[in-house]
Amino acid sequence: MNRRTKQTINYKYKICGHLLALESLLNAREFFITKFFMFVSNLYVFQPYQMYVLIKTTYDEKI
């Protein structure tokens, strides 16, 4: 096997490695984004409700 074919094979392997790394990075990013959005949606759904309950209980106790 001459040097040129070795270089091309090496290059192909490098590209493959980069693509795999990129894919895993994208998967990680997707996973992080879904987790983050779940967290944010929980904040937006539950926090106002908790605040409402807190305010209601405190005012009910005062009244």
Taking residues 24-38, what's their average pLDDT? 76
- Alpha-carbon separation of residue 10 from 6, 13, 16, 18, 40 (angstroms): 6, 5, 10, 12, 44
- 63: pLDDT strictly greater than 60: no
Report, as an integer, the average pLDDT of 16-45. 73
pLDDT at residue 16, as a whole number: 64
The number of folded domains in the chain is: 1
Let me know if 7 is exposed, middle or buried by CB neighbors in 10 A (0-12, 13-18, 19+): exposed
Find the domain containing 9 and state its range.
1-63
Once rounded to an integer, what is the mean pLDDT over residues 35-59?
A: 71
Q: Is the pLDDT of residue 26 over 70?
A: yes
Q: What is the mean pLDDT of residues 7-28?
A: 69
